[in-house]
Amino acid sequence: MAVLTDSLGRVARKLRISVTDRCNFRCQFCMPTHPVWLPHSEILTFEEIYRVASLFSRVGVENIRLSGGEPLMRRDIEQLVELLAGIPGIRGLSMTTNGFLLAEKAPSLKRAGLKGITVSLHSLKPERFSQITGGGPFEKVIEGIKAAKASGFSPLRINAVIIRGCNDDEIADLASLALEGDVTVRFIEYMPFDGERHWGVDKVVSGNEIVARVRERYALVPSPRPAGSTAQLYEFEDGKGEVGIITSITQPFCSDCDRIRLSADGKIVPCLFDKTGFDLRPLLRTSGSDEAILNFMRNAILQKAPGVETLLKKYQQLEHIRPMHTIGG
Ligand code: SAM
């Protein structure tokens, strides 16, 4: 069957599924302090997610990442992992999590077939971590990372969103977590997806500046960037590990973007910077045929924007897009 191709010839190979909009943290750069949750009835069931993911795999999607909200807050998430791991053609199955429930869930997630884990960790100072995450317990997240290491997840990554005046003094310290080579640390440029609209260009620390700050302590060698990758990686000259930068703001990587997203309430979102999506749920819930759903997907991807710049031009300025927890990052 023909692969899912957009109007510029980019093929969708990676599907990011938000399994819930709910989260037990309140990261200021991601969501409002008092979010309005989606009604349960609007959130896709495991069977619906499985069906959509299976159809995506029939048209070329090979990798799935589960996100949220906080994916580990979705009850019995291991059941969904097991279903998705069994889809023929799915080679990579991973999750992005805040790590709060990871210590207890890492072994069962591994058994269910999850391969990779990315844990968000924005500070190594417990008090600051708690402040950034709206009360997140630092030690519990560190335990989660240790449990993920012990369970043998690969790839195992740490994501840190860097915000000027907040945690940019910790860039080299965070990078040092990657020195042993058992985890990759990736720094994300702050994007306009926060809940309380604190975002501003002045708070963005560019990927170039992040690399320069790491280089004040460690020599780095850039690695070739695989097509479709969100991160530019660098190896430590004197270590085993690597760090990366995700430069969605200063150097967007749209020309070979191979991602497509499914929101918790069943919208296909071709680009992270889209303000709306294509609502697949009515079709799913009115016994739409597989062919009708595949046609819907084909139409949605054809409307994928050429890149972040085009969308930002459309919105006239770099402005608040939406809270990140509604789409999953
Ligand atoms: N709850 C999970 C977590 O904390 O990792 C998964 C969902 S979270 C929305 C997915 C990723 O998006 C996280 O790595 C988070 O740090 C990142 N993120 C959230 N808001 C962001 C923003 N405004 N700019 C850049 N990255 C952001």
For ligand 1, atom 20, name the residue with the nearest CA.
30
pLDDT digits (tens, 9 = 90+) for 81-140: 999 999 999 999 999 999 999 999 999 999 999 999 999 999 999 999 999 999 999 999
The answer to whether the pTM exceeds 0.75 is yes
Q: Is the CB of 99 under 6 A from ligand 1?
A: no
For residue 318, what pLDDT band results from cuts at 50, 70 and 90?
low
C-alpha distances (whole Å) from 322 to each of 31, 138, 209, 259, 269 are: 9, 27, 26, 19, 13
What is the CB neighbour count within 10 angstroms for residue 181? 12
Shortest-distance atom of ligand 1 to CA 18: 7
Whether 186 contacts 247, CB under 8 Å:
no
- Going by pLDDT thresholds of 50, 70 and 90, the confidence category of residue 312 is low
| Banded pLDDT at 320 (limits 50, 70, 90) | low
Residue 324 Cα to ligand 1 midpoint, Å, equals 6
- Predicted confidence (pLDDT) at residue 68 exceeds the cutoff of 80: yes
- With tokens 């097509």, the residue in question is 227
Nearest residue (CA) to ligand 1, atom 5: 97
Ligand 1 proximity of 191 Cβ (cutoff 6 Å): yes
Question: Given ligand 1 and candidates 18, 123, 188, 262, which is best to mutate, with the most ligand atoms within 8 Å of its CB?
Answer: 188
